[in-house]
Structure 1
Amino acid sequence: MIKNDKIILRALEPADADLLYKWENQMEIWPVSNTLTPFSRHKIITYINQTTLDIYQTRQLRLMIDIPEGEMQKTIGMIDLFDFDPYHSRGGIGIMIHKPEREKGYAKEAVALFTDYVFNHLGLHQLYCNISEDNRASIKLFESLDFKLMGQKKDWLKTPNGFKDELMYQKIAGRPTIN
């Protein structure tokens, strides 16, 4: 486990299958994750079983975000390293916090802790994230953690209301994590 006094980042467990099934099938978050169709319970279970494979094989890492609740822990979200490229020492980062737990500072804690882990333990040189131009909460989150706007992809995301731009943010190792 990777943790600080506020949050815990932990590996996926078979017991997470029902929660992942629920979260991954919320249509409202599909545009953020480029999802077009629902996930089956079988697909979720297969995914969890594959998380035991090495990050160098799968090129991704998903961790669950827990918060302490007395002697127990409550799972409130997940954070991902995707498109892991060991040769160029980079990867993408994505995060999802369950709606009732948003705006409590957990996302900032999780991204800061995860960034520290991938830079100092996995030895990555850089992280990047792609954010829809209208996702003000994510833009504010990543900018507060010293991710820098590197580019704008015009009409990149197709939505029911037309196309939106996507912003690319990047953080290079060795720069401060929290302001």
Structure 2
Amino acid sequence: MILRAIESQDWEAFHVNDEDSEAARLSDIIYPPRSTDAAQKWAEEQALKEKEGHDWMLAIESLETEQVAGTIVTYNSDQTNGSFYYGLAIFRPYWRRGYAKEAIHLLMNYFFNELRYQKVNAHVYSFNKASIRLHEHLGFQLEGRLRQMIYSQGSFHDELIFGCTAQEFYEQLGQSK
């Protein structure tokens, strides 16, 4: 897989994914239906958007299918303190195929080795058991719990905050830095 900029022709993959309310519930809120024209316009705007700082939305592309398999977004990138956050969404046909793990590794490696960041954070909903297991497997530490922050399917859920330092990342890979 590769991480790349969103292209205007990606609109259809995003439009199909937008209709998957179960997947949307795991990473964000469920948005109202969007027209084909609106989906095309959104993808075009994303493709033309200038990257500012280190807060980006990147497409995760499957090398096997040459299709968009999801997105990874960086935000609250703080160069002074060397920390950043990310969010991840893998489209349903690509679930449980290693795309999330590989995308996170690529992103962390780039931010730690090329941009000199030293800490990454991720927010995970308490009902997203697969994401919790993934972050634990990647060596992230549970650093906090925001109680009853997310409303989904008729009840409130906690939002978990996971963090991983560059040193922990390298140790997890069996490397020293």
| Shorter-chain TM-score tier | 0.7 to 0.9
For residue 57 of structure 2, the aligned residue among 59, 62, 66 is 62
Amino acid at match of 1:108: K
- Counterpart check, 1:76 vs 2:73: no
User: How many angstroms does 1:106 deviate by?
Assistant: 2.1
For residue 45 of structure 1, what is the aligned residue in structure 2? Answer: 44
Provide the TM-score with structure 2 as the length reference: 0.82
- The corresponding residue for 2:128 is 135
Contact 1:65 1:75 in 2 (8 A): yes
**Aligned counterpart for 2:145 among listed residues 142, 148, 152:** 152
Seen in structure 2, the aligned counterparts of structure 1 residues 67 and 33 have a Cα distance that, compared at 3 Å, is closer
Shift of 1:141: 0.8
Deviations 1:106-158 (A, max 9, x none): 21112111111111122222111111112110011111111110011111111
Return structure 1 stretches of 4+ with deviation > 4 angstroms: none
Contact persistence 2:7–2:43 (CA under 8 A) = no
CA apart distance, 1:99: 1.2
Percent identity for Structure 1 against Structure 2: 26
Amino acid at match of 1:97: I
How far apart are 1:36 and its partner, in Å? Answer: 4.7
8 Å contact 1:145–1:178 — kept in the other structure?
no
Match of 2:10 among 16, 36, 42: 16
| Aligned pairs (5 A) from 1:114-129 | 114-129=107-122
Unaligned residue ranges in structure 1 (runs of 5+): 1-6
2: CA distance, partners of 1:119 / 1:167? 23
Letter of the 2:114 counterpart? H
Residue type of the alignment partner of 1:12: I
The letter for the 2-side match of 1:107 is A
Higher strand share goes to which structure?
1
TM-score w.r.t. length of structure 1:
0.81
The 1-side partners of 2:91 and 2:116 are apart by: 29
* Gap regions ≥5 residues in structure 2: none
Mapped to 1, the partners of 2:100 and 2:17 lie a distance apart of: 16
Corresponding position: 1:35 with 2:29: yes
Task: Pick which of 26-35 and 133-142 moved more.
Answer: 26-35
Tell me if structure 1 keeps the 8 A contact 2:61–2:68: yes
* Counterpart in the other structure of 1:166: 159
1:3 is matched with none
Query: Over aligned residue pairs, what C-alpha RMSD do you find?
Result: 2.2
